[in-house]
Chain A
Amino acid sequence: MIEDSNVTSTERRERMETIVSRISRIPRTEFADDVLIREELGIDSLMAMEIVATLEREFDIEINEAEMYDISTIGEFVAFVDQRCRERHAS
């Protein structure tokens, strides 16, 4: 799916959270910005791979796994994907 360029960051975050929640089976209410993805949510590398691939499909973006190494929290992840989406629309 290619998203509408008028989608706001808030709407994009909702869609991201829905996907992460479906794959991790963790309620969206637990995705506060400062929550640690691996340590607190217990999302392992296989789940992370599934999340990344699904987000790539959903937002028509590309994410290099190596870029994920420095991302620790939900807030950082959301900002990273949001930035990548905005770059996609700007190109």
Chain B
Amino acid sequence: MRRRLRILLISPRGAFLGRNDAFREYMETSREMQTILHYWNGLGAALPTIAGLTPDYHTISICDEHVTPIDFDAPLDVVGLTGMTQQAPRAYEIADEFRRRGVYVAMGGIHATVLPDEALGHVDTVFTGEAEHTWPLFLSDVERDRPRRRYDQANYPAVDLETIPLPRYDLVAANDYPVVWVQATRGCPLDCEFCAATRVYGSTYRHKGVQQVAREITEVKRLWRHSQVGFADDNMFVNKRWVRALLDELESVPFTWYAQSDVSISEHPDLLARLHANGLRILFVGLESVNGTNLEGINANGWKARRLARYPEAIAAIQGAGIGIYASFIVGMDYDTDATFEEIAAFVNANNIMGTQVTILTPFPGSVLRARMEREGRIASSDWSLYTAWNAVIRHRRLTESELEAGLLTVYRSVYSENELRRRAAHFKQLFLNLAGR
């Protein structure tokens, strides 16, 4: 006999800007930053995906706490939490409150995956890794009052992205997201030292079927007619053959979109032209540093270091195709000095990069970086609410925590100054005039 469960999936409110008051003030008063924050919003694809895995005889809903408050009095059987590290403290508060009320609480996502024992101090069940196999199994176990404390993807066959069900975007359709995040691929072959994503997705790069992606986009555009689609994938264009097949499939699906990729896409002008024609408007690219010695330490095989000299050429190729680059840089890397902030700003300005995100090197739990920093005694704080990447939580060899946080602001103030914005706008207008003249 099936038991119908009342399930609520929650994405907890995050700390986001953390304790860096000067940075917070800048973000809250700069028009450009407000625009970026407006778009840099929305729910990841995880909870709609989990809801899609839920048998339809259960009742399920999703709460994005950034949009709507949690109703702790709702009649529920199961609460499922997800979250990145900076959301963990709030996730634990929510878990404690629901458990006090007798609701069964489970948690998955990147933080629970890398620190399952910590999470188990607050929740009844933890999921590690992907949940395509384990979530339905867990629900079945709950129905029989025999849920386990842990469900580890590592104990099950690899998840086949070609066969997973359509995510339940309809459950969050009432939320007015400027960008709706969709997942088409999982994994990243670069496995950067600071990134813990490989712990969740494994090192194998996988993608959904192109028809499945087209179905998801069609569903998202049905629900949010004029929102942008953002691909949440860490590195979407690794498999160029798949990208070509995806573009063929998406020809008939009109939408504009954002994605993340490494710079290798710049070496394929035919693909860049097709990506732009198919609606790619902004590409997030992790450039990380303009210091080659820093980059050598990021990947075991020095992939990013080898491309540093070609960064300007790559940026020009991508933006010349009409795709704006939103570049991310990290300050506080081992070979950074007090000159680093100006060097990054000068690089961004010289290359007319459309948008820039600068963060402070953060030793996220589960990352190779954290293990190294622990060995070197350089973790300054393990208060997860500070792990927004905009607070200094490391001991740098040359820069103090306040120098790192102030330096971060130096870069933002330079690259988003009125002068630079005006100059960049003129640059992009010329790029588009060139494109229109072809």
List, in ascending order, chain B residues with CB within 8 A of A58's CB.
436
Q: Is the CB of B432 within 8 A of A44?
A: no
List, in ascending order, chain A residues with CB within 8 A of B226's CB.
26, 40-42
Q: Which of A26, A40, A44, A57 contacts B433 (CB 8 A)?
A: A57
Q: Is the CB of A42 within 8 A of B282?
A: no
When A26-B226, A42-B227, A44-B39 are in contact, do A50 and B432 touch as well, CB less than 8 Å? Answer: yes
Determine whether B354 belongs to the interface, using a CB cutoff of 8 Å to chain A.
yes
Q: How far is the CB of B220 from chain A (nearest CB, A)?
A: 12
0/1 string, A6-43, CB within 8 A of B gives 1: 00000000000000000011110000000000001110
List, in ascending order, chain A residues with CB within 8 A of B433's CB.
53, 56-57
0/1 string, A48-72, CB within 8 A of B gives 1: 0110111011100000010000000
Determine whether A45 belongs to the interface, using a CB cutoff of 8 Å to chain B.
yes
Determine whether B377 belongs to the interface, using a CB cutoff of 8 Å to chain A.
no
List, in ascending order, chain A residues with CB within 8 A of B311's CB.
none
Q: Which of A27, A41, A54, A65 contacts B436 (CB 8 A)?
A: A54
Determine whether A47 belongs to the interface, using a CB cutoff of 8 Å to chain B.
yes
- Interface of A: prevailing SS: helix
List, in ascending order, chain A residues with CB within 8 A of B85's CB.
none
C-alpha spacing A53/B427, complex, angstroms = 11
Q: Output the residue of A25, A40, A65 with the most chain B CB within 10 A.
A: A25
Q: Which of A25, A45, A53 contacts B432 (CB 8 A)?
A: A53
Within 8 A of A (CB), among B381-438: 425, 428-433, 435-437
Counting contact residues on chain A (CB < 8 A from B), the size range is 20 to 34
Determine whether B121 belongs to the interface, using a CB cutoff of 8 Å to chain A.
no
Q: Which residue of B lies closest to A36 (CB)?
A: B226
Q: Is the CB of B429 within 8 A of A47?
A: no
Q: Is the CB of A46 within 8 A of B282?
A: yes
Determine whether B83 belongs to the interface, using a CB cutoff of 8 Å to chain A.
no
0/1 string, B193-234, CB within 8 A of A gives 1: 000000000000000000000000000000000111000000
C-alpha spacing A86/B312, complex, angstroms = 41
Q: Which of B227, B255, B324 contacts A25 (CB 8 A)?
A: B255
Q: Which residue of A lies closest to B254 (CB)?
A: A25
Q: How far is the CB of B81 from chain A (nearest CB, A)?
A: 30
Q: How far is the CB of A45 from chain B (nearest CB, A)?
A: 7
Q: Is the CB of A45 within 8 A of B35?
A: yes
Q: How far is the CB of B127 from chain A (nearest CB, A)?
A: 34
Q: Is the CB of B428 within 8 A of A46?
A: yes
C-alpha spacing A36/B435, complex, angstroms = 26
List, in ascending order, chain A residues with CB within 8 A of B44's CB.
none
Determine whether B299 belongs to the interface, using a CB cutoff of 8 Å to chain A.
no
List, in ascending order, chain A residues with CB within 8 A of B39's CB.
44
Q: Which of A42, A44, A65 contacts B429 (CB 8 A)?
A: A65
When A25-B255, A40-B226, A65-B429 are in contact, do A46 and B281 touch as well, CB less than 8 Å? Answer: yes
Q: Is the CB of B256 within 8 A of A65?
A: no
Q: Output the residue of B227, B322, B354 with the most chain A CB within 10 A.
A: B322
Determine whether B302 belongs to the interface, using a CB cutoff of 8 Å to chain A.
no
Determine whether B116 belongs to the interface, using a CB cutoff of 8 Å to chain A.
no
Q: Which residue of A lies closest to B257 (CB)?
A: A25
3 nearest A-B residue pairs (beta carbon): A53-B432, A42-B226, A57-B436
Can you pick out 11 interface pairs between chain A and chain B where the beta carbons lie within 8 Å of each other? A40-B226, A42-B256, A46-B354, A49-B428, A50-B322, A50-B432, A50-B435, A53-B433, A53-B435, A57-B437, A65-B429
Residues of B participating in the A interface, judged by any CB pair closer than 8 Å: 35, 39, 178, 226-228, 254-256, 279, 281-282, 322, 324, 354, 425, 428-433, 435-437
